[in-house]
Chains A and B, each alone.
Chain A
Amino acid sequence: MKKINFLILALISSSLLFTSCNQQNKSSSGALASSAAEKVYVAPGEHDDFYAFVSGGFSGQMSVYGLPSGRLFKVIPVFSQDAEKAWGYNEETKPMLNTSHGFIPWDDSHHPDISQTNGEIDGRYVFINGNNTPRIAKVDLSVFETTEIIEIPNSAGNHSSAFVTENTEYVVAGTRFSVPIPQQDISIKEYKGNFKGSLSFISVDPEDGGMDLSFQILMPGFDYDLAHPGRGASHGWMFFSTYNTEESHTLMEVNASQNDKDFIAAVNWKKAEEYLAEGKFTTMPANYAHNVYDEHTHTATSTMKKEVRILDASALPGLVYLLPTPKSPHGCDVNPTGEYIVGNGKLSSDLTVHSFNKMIDAIENEKFEGEAYGIPILSFEDVLAGTVKQAGLGPLHTEFDGNGNGYTTFFISSEVVKWKVGTWEVVDRQPCYYSVGHLMIPGGNSRKPYGKYVLAMNKITKDRYLPTGPEVTQSAQLYDISGEKMELLLDFPTVGEPHYAAGIPAELVKPRSKKIYNLTDNKHKYATTSDANVRVERDGNEVHIYMTMIRSHFNPDNIEGVKVGDKVYFHVTNLEQDYDVPHGVSMIGANTSELLIMPGQTETFVWEPKQVGVWPFYCTDFCSALHQEMQGYVRVSPADSDIELTWSLGED
């Protein structure tokens, strides 16, 4: 008995010893390393060093965060209606969500990418893909608004996009799901050989940024998962990872995982341009929407395009080569020099790295191992630069710091692993909480990464935050990568699922950010740029109100003569020309959202009054000390009433 007591005592004391020991270690490391809190603290009124544009996944939007603070500044509506900003609700932006399937109020946004000049991010635009109903959107960073959306025909699951070439010549959009091209009524069982993939190249006008679907490359019926452009020596090439080279159409988790190796498809788009110039394309009838928001008319227009140029990869030699890559590669990433192409074999523990020079060598010597639908397959050994061995489980994505290191996320083992480019040795690893997907280093997919931080984006958070019922947030985690070892600094929740992000030094964007829209540049069809032009007009049962707003009143604010059954258009112009003085407007019973109108801007909402009475409208954005007084009335009379249309402000 005594012996046992002694044992227990010894155990307790030793555990105490260990505990105190641990505590000592903790505090000593805390004293040595500078505190993480200090590194992410951006004092009130100070600005962050970086912008991070984080995709919203199934929210369809893109959010703007500051790094290192992790503070959320804005959620830019892209593919989904946003009542807060009237995106897709007001008459001006409804056309932005038009597609060949009609008005679609939602999409699944995945991969933002910043425009580049000479291989460096330039801060003009962010492009982002809509995955579900294939679309590419362009966000203009002078206004932080979506200004253009183009639909992608012959595509389904627009996943391997929106990635930008070195001089923003193209934004690419590869199809994840192969489909009959053109679409037709055939049995799903006829997939093999009949279903095709398409890789779309959208040109970007160097002057005005206008997008145009330049051409599509018709590919075998694989799944095209992710992509990245060549740069430096490999500029002119685009690399796409593929899976389901088995061409299966059911129980894909099993049937698409049978081949030991799938491919990275190397596409020579300079060659494609040659073929186009030689007229070796076919023009295929198509139907896709091209939606453009004009900053001066403050209005979007939607145009249906009717054809697309097709290049057939099977028939045009030198256009595409296939690089065998193990285990259903997911991310397809290119290092800053453009020499290495990483295939993140998601069902593997290894990371395959191909060499661009070796690839060119093999192509020149025609060392082909076989072909798939006429597309040459290079031999794995001929193009392999190296393997990062046993680095973790389930590699998904890689980015680079510009100092010769790669950083790869491992979904299954839930970690970021740092490794050396060239020696392929693992240098460090840090856990993610939990199940990390993409990661982002500002400029990490350009010639010039800003390797101070890496942002890892997690799919699940479980217990990481205060619980919010069954649905809990996704998250992003910020690591300091300026030292040899990575250091976890910050953990913050995100809007929707953060698939990918694009980061850029604030200084490249901040000076170009607009403060107001100039009233004198307002070319909106229904703008009222001075109080002299305020009026209400009737056209049949349509009533158009040309209204202005300025601190702190609407003009007019009393309107009579509207009738039940009318369709009333409120065309409201914000006459303010001061920074950060938006006004809102909303009407009781209007089947739409409020308007949130920036200084110098005009927006329109429609109200169809159904009940007789006097109905108020008011400003929804606390604009001034007299905000609560910023209100007005519309008198609605019965349909057969003959009360004349009158309007006024300040009349007794």
Chain B
Amino acid sequence: MLIGVLLPLLLFVFPLWKITLEAPQYPTPLGMYIHINDFSDANPHDIKNINLMNHYVGMKYIPEAIPEFKIFPIGIISTTIIGLLIAFKAKHRWYLYWFVLMILLSTAGLYDFYLWEHDYGHDLDPKAIMKFTNPDGSVMGFQPPLFGSKDILNFKAHSYPQLGAFSLALGMGLSFVAYLLGKKELKNSKA
């Protein structure tokens, strides 16, 4: 349980997610890491170059900071403290509660990420240099995928979790395993 609780802290070291944009003119693809508290370049100046590219279709600049960068770290630290208390003091039943809490928070985080992506891809400058429409006549959006790969005009966009997200998932998984083991132990001791 202890390891499970501590693993999500790796989010402060490793990125959570990565969005990569591939196009023929970019033999080295443009890429952006999403950390729990920051956006960063995959290669120097990538975010600047993504912004430059996106301004043609009226997308906003990727902000220096978003409110989530403050909320997420607080969330992770709070849940870690709760987890630590549980690991040392509480019964295995609480392991499950922590696991469920984490599932709920992660889902909320992902949904928030989706909302941001949607806004980023759809809230376009009306004076955009190039305007594209879908076959049905609606304004084309440029939302990157939440998970997976997608063709967006001349780019192929990839969006996948990184080591930080894996640490979080593994930590949560371990807490669930700890719960199961605790349950088994209890059964055995009863028997």
Contact = CB atoms under 8 A, between A and B. Distances in A.
A550 B48 CA distance: 11
Q: Interface residue tally of chain A, by bracket?
A: under 10
A577 B56 contact: no
A635 interface: no
Nearest to B45: A577
B44 A577 contact: yes
A551 B129 contact: no
Interface string B24-67: 00001000000000000000110011001000100000000000
Contacts of A516: 45
A578 B129 CA distance: 21
A516 B45 CA distance: 10
Interface in A537-582: 550-551, 576-579
A516 B129 CA distance: 27
Contacts of B52: 550-551, 576, 578
Interface of A: 516, 550-551, 576-579, 625-626
A552 to B, nearest CB: 9
Contacts of A576: 52
Interface residues of B, number: 9
Contact of B56 (A550, A578, A625): A625
A579 B26 CA distance: 9
A627 to B, nearest CB: 12
A631 to B, nearest CB: 15
Given A577-B48, A577-B49, A625-B56, 14 more contacts: A516-B45, A550-B52, A551-B52, A576-B52, A577-B44, A577-B45, A578-B45, A578-B48, A578-B49, A578-B52, A579-B28, A625-B130, A626-B56, A626-B129
Nearest to B44: A577
A514 to B, nearest CB: 12
17 contacts: A516-B45, A550-B52, A551-B52, A576-B52, A577-B44, A577-B45, A577-B48, A577-B49, A578-B45, A578-B48, A578-B49, A578-B52, A579-B28, A625-B56, A625-B130, A626-B56, A626-B129
Contacts of B28: 579
B30 to A, nearest CB: 9
A550 B56 CA distance: 13
Interface string B153-183: 0000000000000000000000000000000
Contacts of A625: 56, 130
Nearest to A576: B52
A207 to B, nearest CB: 25
The 4 closest A-B pairs by CB, nearest first: A577-B45, A578-B49, A551-B52, A577-B48
Nearest to B52: A551
A403 B22 CA distance: 46
Contacts of A579: 28
B61 to A, nearest CB: 13
B22 to A, nearest CB: 15
Nearest to A516: B45
A625 B44 CA distance: 23
A155 B123 CA distance: 69
A415 B52 CA distance: 56
B153 to A, nearest CB: 12
B9 to A, nearest CB: 32
A576 B28 CA distance: 16
B20 to A, nearest CB: 16
A516 B48 CA distance: 14
A551 B129 CA distance: 12
Contacts of B48: 577-578
A550 B55 CA distance: 12
A559 B129 CA distance: 24
Contacts of B44: 577
